[in-house]
Amino acid sequence: MSELNLTDNKFIQFHQKIGFKFDGVKYYGYKGDTIASALLRNNVKLIGRSFKYHRPRGFYTCGIEEPNALVQIISEYSEPNTRATIKKIYEGMEIESQNRWPSLKTDIGSINNIFSPVFPAGFYYKTFMGPHKNFWKKIYEPIIRKAAGLGKPPKEFKAVSTHLYHNVDITIVGGGLNGLIAAKSLIDTNFSVLLIDFDDQLGGILNNSNKVQSVNNQTPMDWISETVNEIENSKNIKILKNTLVTNYNYINHLIAVEDKFVGSRPLKDKVNSTLHKIRTDQVILSNGHIERFLSFQNNDLPGIMLCSSFEKYMCRYGVMPSKETVIFSNNSNSESLVFSLIKKGFKPKAYIDSRSGENIEPGLFDLIRKNDIPLYTNSQIKGAFGSKKLQKILVEDSSGGVNEIKTDFLCLSGGINPDVHLFTQSKGLLDWDEKDLTYKPAQAFQPTITLGSASGQFDFNSITKEINEKLDIFGIKPLQINLKLNTSHKFKIEKLWEVLPQKQTIWSKSFIDLQNDVTTKDIRQAISEGFDRIEHLKRYTTNSMGTDQGKISSINALGIVSDLLDKKVNEVGTTIYRPPYAPLSFAAIAGRNSYEYYDPERKTPIHNWHVSNGAVFEDVGQWKRPWYFPINKDETMNDAVQRESKNVRENAGVLDGSTLGKIEIKGKDALAFLNLIYTNSFSKMKPGSSRYALMLGEDGMVKDDGIICKISDEHFIATTTTGGAATVLGCMEEYAQTEWPNLNVYMNSITEQYATFNISGPKTRNIIEKVFPEVDFSNEAFPFMTFQFHEYEDTPIRILRASFTGEMGYEIYVPSNQALKIWEKIINFGKEFGLMPYGTETMHLLRAEKGYIIVGQDTDGSITPLDLGLDWMIGKSKKDFLGKRSLIRSDTVRKDRKQLVGIIPTNKNDKLEEGQHIILDKEIKTPMPMLGHITSCYQSPTLGHNFALAVIKNGQSLIGTKAFASTPELKTIEVEIVEPIFYDKENTKLAS
Amino acid sequence: MLVIDCPYCGPRDQSEFSNGGEAHVKRPDGSAEIGDREWGEYVFIRANPKGIFYERWVHSHGCRKWFNCVRDTSTDEILKIYKIDEERPKLDSFKNNVKTPSGEPNLGSGNFTVKK
């Protein structure tokens, strides 16, 4: 075990041993360890295989920027692509490495590494093009999909997450040194403040390095605990720990995800993660910086790590990834690692710096000299070598000589970048800093303040000044923070992006993106092929397109490209940083809108009756409607529908039509308004009568239909289709408010206030007279298309004589809470007359026999009333209604429009199907001109054969002729084109 | 997500609203005297500018009232919200950052990351 001291601290509880399994082997770590720190404690340095070449990889970093160490958490529904550098262990955790087979040590896919010269950038685009178009779908894609990718999808996963909304004045993202000072200065002010940090410990760089010796003459740890305590006790600041801000949207809208089970196994029925949706007046970004790496041959070997990450493992977790490490740097950031190593008594094996001696920080230079550490200035690492782990490196010194150093560990620093991801998401602009060689926030688009290294301010001595200046807008008291440092306060760097290898072969690889296995050679090739725009280059090479989004490497790629193109980095630009900052699970995004809560289910007031009477349900929009009522479990749907249909024609049936939309329209101008909304004219209608009505779009196409009941000129009730209820109400409201605000009219949905029962069949009158004995249902007293209000046991009821089946029928409107009583009454009184409930399928069959259309089935938004043969429904004398002018557009008066017709097979045993094309020729040849298609098709128990409705070109003039319906097997069925009505053409039944 | 200041209810998240397309499109009456072109333009043609745009919104999950809004489509910035019966604000009362039909504001489009 590589450990420092084992006394408990706030990060690690060394007295609490934790057992976990990695690839089946049991290891021990301590409470507070991440998977990475625990495995490094156990000297495990190989963690996974790379994406494309299956190369062995180790831990490159100690945080969220990790490109390599992605693992599958078997004990959490096999959650894939979890970063081992941030996921904390718990007792019994099971972890597996990814992208290897059969095992991590012997991986067959690593043969890709040997064949790598044939996998250059754009390999897939160039290679998998032939010989036949099906090759991609059938052969290439399945093989590539199996071999590529990161983890495997999770299993039996049922996430529980919740959403939480915040509206605050100020949100501070990042609780490091700058975030804490900013929060401290806002304590007990009138601002409501959220302080968010991804870590479970606030303090950032104070926890993770030895850069700072003291803050206001306190040790950093004392200062943090005192400050956090003050903040926690303040009235106005709330701290969210373990919470990662992933999105910075428009109008200061932040999305942050909080892990509720850090360091413990997620409980099945508890909320695992909370998605915070934060709207804030001001955002303070103090989310720090990210160290970047350097490219040289085999810079991906396990045993290579970033300098600041090594130091974090020491300071934060008390782990020494190696006792003898070599350091390679081009900037000041390595200084504090050297300081920490020497302080702990583990001298670096060698220190290599691309800078000359006089450019190296004097403190660092002295430290190295005093401790006799071999120093290579003006030097570069030409390559790293070893089998599955680092064994030696080659160093080119200032004289040009190449030295071999045997080592199992190497720490790298290629510079630091402000973490500008969130800033650019907010649409802020960056600017390249030639001195610090990085992009820095330059111009904010939203009310955003950047602080500390996140703003590109790398000088520790300027922290207080910057915070006091930038927070001055809040009118708060300036703070004085005195920092004493162990290292130099300023940041210096010399340009270095890539070191070319000693010997270039076709197998030598210098990586620029570790997660997606992109090499610097791929970048060169892309540019030579003309992909020299940075957005093109990114997509062609897949550079920085992994789940880490190239956090430690994308700036290096820009540096290399700018050198190759001989352009300034600002001219090369950066690719756009897109949310999320780091992967977040769909489960967190979905929140409670998942599974049974995904979409509300609407049920009619007598739904439970349907359930207990064995109904099979159909989803119509959000509604659950009885589809059919099988009499026993052996009855098929077809049998049930034939039986139900026959029964309605011979006796009577009752349908639960409660889902139909109902809109009440009132107002002095209600009549004028409805005359504008519907095609029909309602002016001459008598109160107490009703009318079948059509609603068009302004393009003249049928949008909805329904029955309008006129109570008076100032009071109407309209029904709509089940699916169209919300749209029709919305449309009425829109026109009432925007086009005809002068009309005095109000409308309201009463869909759920009333249940609707449709009784129809020849014996309807016998039944309904028993249910409502006081009502006179004779033809004279209650003619077709009239309605009446009645009281039934103190329940107000509206009865409408109408029919959607072709039989005589009534619709009964009952307040929802009384619905079951009436329904059961109808069923009971109906028994002796053979009444049966029927479902939507029978309703469809019966209405089709009668030639009644269903909007949305027989029409599709391209059918006018004239196409349906419904000319009689158009109020021609009306000056205006929705879509009126469109009925004489050149397109709507075309002669060859598709029109509604009936279809029956010539051979009565032939079966037709919805969707079949109607054609004129018996033989199918391509291209085959089609006339139209079948929109509705059923087997009629009354006719004894199949019949269909269809929309076909010039249909009305083709009635009486023969045509063919095509089948998927390229056969044809001879059919007759007939009038679209198959039952009771004279309408004798309706008025009987 | 936008915050929309409903003139009847106050500022609310965009998810409570539905967009109703271009505002101030006058509906000709449906009589036959209206020419094919005029009617066709009303039914089918809507402006889709980059920059200042007059559009309609409805507070569909709220008061269900329609109102008008001026938005800079290149930055998504809402410049003015006014009731249906209020007068249309003049175009030159807003600063338009987009110089040509295909132009791009220097800041706020989200299409650039680097300062020019």
Residue written as token pair 């009549």: A671
pLDDT band at B47 (very low <50, low <70, confident <90, very high): very high
Q: A507: pLDDT confidence band, cut at 50, 70 and 90?
A: confident
Of A249, A279, A573, the CB nearest to B113: A573
How far is residue A750's CA from residue A258's CA, in Å, rounded to a whole number? Answer: 42
Flag whether pLDDT at A18 surpasses 70.
yes
Residue B101 lies in a domain: no
pLDDT at A984 exceeding the cut of 70: yes
Q: What pTM, to 2 d.p., does this model score?
A: 0.90
Q: Exposure pattern of A837-874 as b/e (b: 16+ CB <10 Å)? A: bbbbbbbbbbbbbbbbbbbeebbeeebbbbbbbbeebb
| Alpha-carbon span A6 to A29, nearest angstrom | 12
Residues 6+ apart with CB under 8 A from A862: A701, A898
> What integer pLDDT is reported at residue B101 of this predicted model?
67
Confidence of residue A156 (pLDDT cuts 50, 70, 90): confident
Whole-number pLDDT of residue A126: 66
Tell me if A830 sits within 8 A of A787, measured CB to CB.
no
The answer to whether A13-114 and A661-749 have equal CATH topology is no
Q: Which helix (H) or strand (E) holds A381?
A: strand A380-385
Chain A residues in contact with B32 by the CB 8 A cut-off are 885, 888
Residue pLDDT, tens place only, A822-858: 999 999 999 999 999 999 999 999 999 999 999 999 9
In this predicted structure, the answer to whether residue A155 has a pLDDT above a threshold of 90 is no
From the list A429, A881, A890, the residue facing B107 with the nearest CB is A429
Angle at A467 between CA A463 and CA A468, to 5 degrees: 115
Domain residue extents for chain A:
13-114, 607-659+753-847, 661-749, 895-978
Does residue B82 belong to the interface with chain A, where contact is any CB pair within 8 Å? no
Roughly how many angstroms between the first and final C-alpha of chain B, as a whole number? 27
Contact A884 B34 (CB under 8 A): no
Q: What is the pLDDT averaged over residues A923-948?
A: 94
Please, what's the largest Cα pairwise distance for chain B? Answer: 56
Residues of chain B with Cβ-Cβ distance to A888 below 8 Å are 32
CATH number given to A607-659+753-847: 3.30.1360.120
Q: The domain spanning residue B22 has which CATH number?
A: 3.30.2270.10
Of A546-550, A812-816, A821-825, the range with the lowest mean pLDDT is A546-550
ipTM confidence score: 0.96
Cβ-Cβ contacts under 8 Å, A432 against chain B: 114
Q: Is B37 on the interface with A (CB under 8 A)?
A: no
Judge whether B47 is closer than 8 Å to chain A, CB to CB: no
Tell whether B44 lies on the interface with A, counting CB pairs under 8 A. Answer: yes
Q: Say whether pLDDT at A2 is over 60.
A: no
Question: CA of A577 to nearest chain B CA: how many angstroms apart?
Answer: 8
pLDDT-derived band at A860, boundaries 50, 70, 90:
very high
Dump the DSSP string for A50-99. -TTT--EE----SSTT-SS-EEEETTTTTEEEEETTTPBP-TTEEEEE-S
Smallest Cβ distance to A733: which of B2, B3, B64? B64
Record: contact B65-A737, CB cut-off 8 A = yes
Parallel, antiparallel or unpaired: strands A652-656 and A754-760: antiparallel
B12 interface with A at CB cutoff 8 Å: no
pLDDT value of position A411: 97
Q: Over pLDDT 90: what percentage of chain A?
A: 85
Mutate to test the interface with B, among A427, A438, A699, A747 (most CBs of B within 10 A): A427
Which residue of chain B has the CA closest to A700?
A: B43
In terms of CA atoms, which chain A residue is nearest residue B32?
A885
Cβ contact, residue pair A730, B60, below 8 Å: yes
- Interface touch A879/B40, C-beta < 8 Å: no
What does DSSP assign to residue A876?
A: T
- Check residue A798 and give its pLDDT: 97
Query: Lowest mean pLDDT: which of A214-223, A260-269, A615-624?
Result: A260-269
Q: Three-class SS of residue A387?
A: coil
Contact A292, A299 (CB under 8 A): no
pLDDT range class, residue A3, cuts 50, 70, 90: low
Contact across the interface for B30 and A883, Cβ inside 8 Å? yes
Give the residue, B116 or A401, on which the prediction is more confident: A401
Q: Does B109 reside within a domain?
A: no
3-state secondary structure of A317: helix
**Taking CB atoms and an 8 Å cutoff, what residues of chain A touch B109?**
427
Q: What is the pLDDT of residue A735?
A: 97
Report pLDDT digits (tens) over A105-123. 777 777 777 777 666 676 6
Instruction: Residue A308: name the closest of A410, A413, A197 by CA.
Output: A413
Prior bond to A102 cis, omega within 30?
yes
Number of domains composing chain B: 1
Contact between A734 and B76 using a beta-carbon 8 Å cutoff: no
With an 8 Å Cβ cutoff, the interface of chain A facing chain B consists of: 249-251, 253, 279, 424, 427, 429-432, 439, 442-443, 445, 570, 573-577, 698-699, 730, 733-734, 737-739, 741, 879-886, 888-890
What pLDDT, on the 0 to 100 scale, is given for residue A725?
A: 95
Interior/surface letters A179-210, b for 16+ CB within 10 angstroms, e for the rest: bbbbbbbbbebeebbbbbbbbebbbbbbbbbb
- Fold of the CATH domain A895-978: Elongation Factor Tu (Ef-tu); domain 3 (2.40.30)
| CA–CA min distance A141, chain B (Å) | 33
For residue B71, pLDDT over 60 is answered with: yes
CATH number, span A13-114: 3.10.20.440
Residue A127 has pLDDT above 70, yes or no: no
Instruction: Tell me which DSSP letter residue A109 carries.
Output: G
Residue B80 belongs to what domain range? 3-93
CA distance, residue B44 to nearest chain A CA (Å):
8
Residues 6+ apart with CB under 8 A from A311: A208, A209, A210, A336, A337, A340
CB pairs under 8 A between A and B: 93
Mean pLDDT of A210-230: 96
Instruction: For domain A661-749, give the fold.
Output: Alpha-Beta Plaits (3.30.70)
A904–chain B nearest CA distance, Å: 38
What's the pLDDT at A144?
A: 64
Residue of B71, B111, B115 to mutate, interface with A, max A Cβ within 10 Å:
B115
Cα radius of gyration rounded to whole Å, chain B: 16
Q: Does residue A444 surpass a pLDDT of 50? A: yes
pLDDT given at position A749: 96
Residue B104 lies in a domain: no
Are the beta carbons of B109 and A427 separated by less than 8 Å? yes
For residue A1, what pLDDT band results from cuts at 50, 70 and 90? very low
Beta bridge partners of A31: A13
Which of A248, A249, A251 would best serve as a mutation to test chain B binding (most B beta carbons within 10 A)? A251
Q: Calculate how close chain B gets to A576, using CA atoms only, in Å.
A: 6
User: Would you call B2 an interface residue with chain A, using a CB distance cutoff of 8 Å?
Assistant: yes
Q: Do B30 and A442 touch (CB under 8 A)?
A: no
Over range B23-46, report the average pLDDT. Answer: 91
Question: Residue A804 is encoded by which pair of tokens?
Answer: 């959607």
Distance CA B65, CA B10 (A): 12
pLDDT over threshold 90, residue A152: no
Nearest CA in chain B to A443: B115
The predicted structure's pLDDT at residue A730: 97
Q: What is the mean pLDDT of chain A?
A: 93
Under DSSP, is residue A661 helix (H, G, I), strand (E, B) or coil?
A: strand
Sign of CA dihedral B101, B102, B103, B105: positive
Residue of chain A minimizing CA distance to B26: A739
Minimal Cβ distance to A250: which of B2, B58, B106:
B2
Please judge whether B3 and A889 are an interchain contact, meaning their C-beta atoms are less than 8 angstroms apart.
no
Beta strands in A629-766 (DSSP E): 652-656, 661-666, 690-696, 702-712, 715-720, 746-749, 754-760
* pLDDT at A146 (0 to 100): 62
Which chain B residues are Cβ-neighbours of A431 within 8 angstroms? 114-115
